[in-house]
Structure 1
Amino acid sequence: MRQPSDSLALGIIGAGIMGERMLNAVLGQDGAPVRVAALWDPSPAARERIAAHWPSIPLVADAATVVAASDCVYVASPPASHLGHARAALAAGRSVFCEKPLAVDLAEARAFVAMAGGRGAVNFPFASSLGVATLAQWIAEGAVGTKPRLTIEVAFARWPRGWQADAAGWLDAPQEGGFTREVVSHFLFLSRRLLGRLHDLRGQARFPEPGRSERAVDATFQAGAVPVVLRGRVGGTDLDDHNTWTLEGEAGAVRLRDWAIAERRGSDGRFAPAPDAIPNERARPIALRRQLEGVVRMTRGEAHSLATLAEALEVQEVVEAILAGNSAGG
């Protein structure tokens, strides 16, 4: 491993949407906390695209070479491949920063978390979100008050979203894809992080199109002591992607809208954004840069705020229970 004074060597496996976003987070601003040590994707077209946009990125021949060149391996490949790459990185003494879900098989995910310890984390950017920090501050100051209740709503004009068309093969497959795994999981993590353990789930999903992912989900559960209602739909909106996470109590209500905008309900009953709220297009690279700072701390064995493997597994347990139409008590 390199000395703490050196920039952390980050290897990237997967050059799809998330791989490119992470590259932008590293290369798009000065003073990045990491440097890209190596990148590999099995697709020649993806490698050619990266080479054209970022000619300085070291493209390598396989995943093993990425691991060898890195202090931490960022796994941004499709879900079915996550655990194979993560295990290889840990076996080589590297840390792992993985996209969600950890695996497509819950038993394998549980076994991985049990053996991995603190050498890994999962990329739930709400862990580093400025909007979420504002929500947490409002909640701590008593903006919601007693008897809180949470409503999570997600809606899409179509699935996959237009900008995900290149990955539709797995994003719209019931084994790996669907909006519950891709989007709802983030709001489950947010609920877990701000309110407490997820339990007492009752949920169901509807799969009206054979061979494709879900088109609707409904669930109720508890986040800590807070009752939660979740509703997700494909169709019924003209928006590419619309979501709200709304916590309401006797003193008032706060919400996160469209991924990034923290809002508080006023005396007139309307929600107004925080004065410093910014849309997701501007907020996302800031959150990812903060995530990378957490990756450095995690790799060095220091305290960090990234989503732990245990938190990610808890989220995945709830997601898969919803999709299976099961109940998860506890």
Structure 2
Amino acid sequence: MEPREQPVALGIIGAGVMGRRMLDAIQALTVPGQGAPVRVAALWDPDPAALERAGAAHPRVPRAADAAFVVSSSECVYVASPPASHIGHARMALAAGRSVFCEKPLAVDLAEARAFAVEAGTAGAVNFPFASSPGVATLQRSIAEGAVGTPRRLAIEVGFAAWPRPWQVDAAAWLDARAEGGFTREVVSHFLFLARRLLGPFDELRGAARFPEAGRSERAVDARFRAGGVPVTLTGRVGETAKDDHNTWTLEGDAGAVRLRDWSVPERRRADGTFEPAPNAMPNERARIVALQRQLDGVARMARGEPHHLATFPEALDVQEVVEAILAC
């Protein structure tokens, strides 16, 4: 019997929503006798209250005194802090010879993000969970089976009753600020990544964003561009739906159409024009933790220098370029 590989020591910087979700995913993977691809080496957040909340839910996780201790204790560092701090933590980890798994965007300043993507090379990845999504995997199988045929158009639609969403109110200070926040950076970026991954590079962007409230993030965006030569339309709105969070990613071709609805539900278009969910579709609450666990497998591979499926820094930069171009219009 071959010896089981030791789990990768993962340090976590940031004990907000994403940090806690990652801790939950790691805990769910830790089954007696089976092990997990990673173990939490240390957790730190500059907010003592956030660190205390995460520690209460995960009492066995070692809490660090600062970010430097997290880096020194880890093989890979997961940067789950607010966007303005991403690049500083990531650079500190890379300088210490650690790999980096980072939330998007790479940096708030686009020029700095471009420079970082070059200097970091292949030593890191960005947490776009669609890279590991079971719903996306089903969508890809449908496309490979000919459900779409030759792609003709892609439509991305997102809508929110309010922004930030109810579960994000603790982070409203930056999530609803123009410099770091907004639904285009926080949500639309995921669907842009999916377009980039499945269709190809972006070009021919035309877009507009509306900022009706001074100092706050956008309340509407509209854009047209191409991904791998396929025309894409993007529509985003706040306050025009009663749902906290509703989205569709719909790819049409000469043979039919498929879509991903509400983050996790893969569907095919029927002959009558309605969409039918795949038999294996699961709600986002369940699909999210499956995707994060698959992301962790990729993190372990990346940290060991093995091939992985995670979003690369160049892919993340391509997404950020489009996001910031839309918001600048």
TM-score, normalised on structure 2?
0.97
Task: Tell me if the contact between 1:32 and 1:289 (Cα under 8 Å) persists in the aligned partners.
Answer: no
- Distance in 1 (alpha carbons) for counterparts of 2:51 and 2:300: 26
2:180 pairs with 1:176:
yes
Aligned to 1:167, what secondary structure does the other structure show? helix
Give the superposition deviation at 1:36: 0.2
CA distance in 2, matches of 1:297, 1:52: 30
* In 2: Cα distance, 1:47 partner to 1:295 partner: 23
Paired residue type of 2:100: V
Displacement of 1:135 in angstroms is 0.9
Partners in 2 of 1:166 and 1:130 — Cα distance? 29
For 1:328, the equivalent position in structure 2 comes to: none
Unaligned runs of 5+ in 2: none
- Secondary structure of the structure 1 residue equivalent to 2:108: coil
* CA-CA distance at 1:147 after TM superposition: 4.7
RMSD: 1.1
Q: What do residues 161-213 of structure 1 show as CA deviations (whole Å, max 9, x unaligned)? A: 00000000000000000000000000000000000001111011000000100
CA separation in 1, counterparts of 2:129 and 2:139?
A: 15
What is the CA deviation profile of residues 234-290 of structure 1, one whole-angstrom value per residue up to 9, with x for unaligned ones?
011000000000001121110000000000011122100000000100000000000
**Which amino acid letter does the alignment assign opposite residue 79 of structure 2?**
V
- Distance apart, 1:140 and its partner CA: 1.4
> Which residue matches 1:140?
144
Alignment correspondent of 2:134: 130
Q: Which moved more, 1:52-61 or 1:205-214?
A: 52-61
Cross-structure match for 2:121:
117
Instruction: Tell me if structure 2 keeps the 8 A contact 1:4–1:300.
Output: no
How much identity, in percent, do the aligned residues show? 73
* Counterpart pick for 1:210 among 194, 214, 227: 214
Which consecutive residues of structure 1, in runs of 5 or more, have no partner in the other structure? 326-330
Matched, 1:260 2:264: yes
Three-state SS of the structure 1 residue aligned to 2:46 is: coil
How far apart, in 1, do the equivalents of 2:36 and 2:156 lie? 34
Distance between the aligned counterparts of 1:283 and 1:147, measured in 2? 26
| Pairing partner for 1:57 from 61, 73, 85 | 61
Alignment equivalent of 1:70, drawn from 71, 74, 87: 74
In the alignment, what sits opposite 2:26? 26
> Hey, what's the Cα distance between the residues in 2 that align with 1:228 and 1:12?
36
Work out the CA distance in 1 between the residues paired with 2:10 and 2:278.
34
- Distance between the aligned counterparts of 2:112 and 2:279, measured in 1? 44
Does 1:230 pair with 2:234? yes
CA distance in 1, matches of 2:159, 2:9: 38
Matches within 5 A, 1:1-330: 5-29=5-29, 30=31, 31-325=35-329
1: distance between equivalents of 2:55 and 2:168? 21
Query: Does the Cα contact within 8 Å between 2:157 and 2:234 map onto a contact in 1?
Result: yes
Alpha-carbon distance in structure 2 between the residues aligned to 1:61 and 1:321 = 38
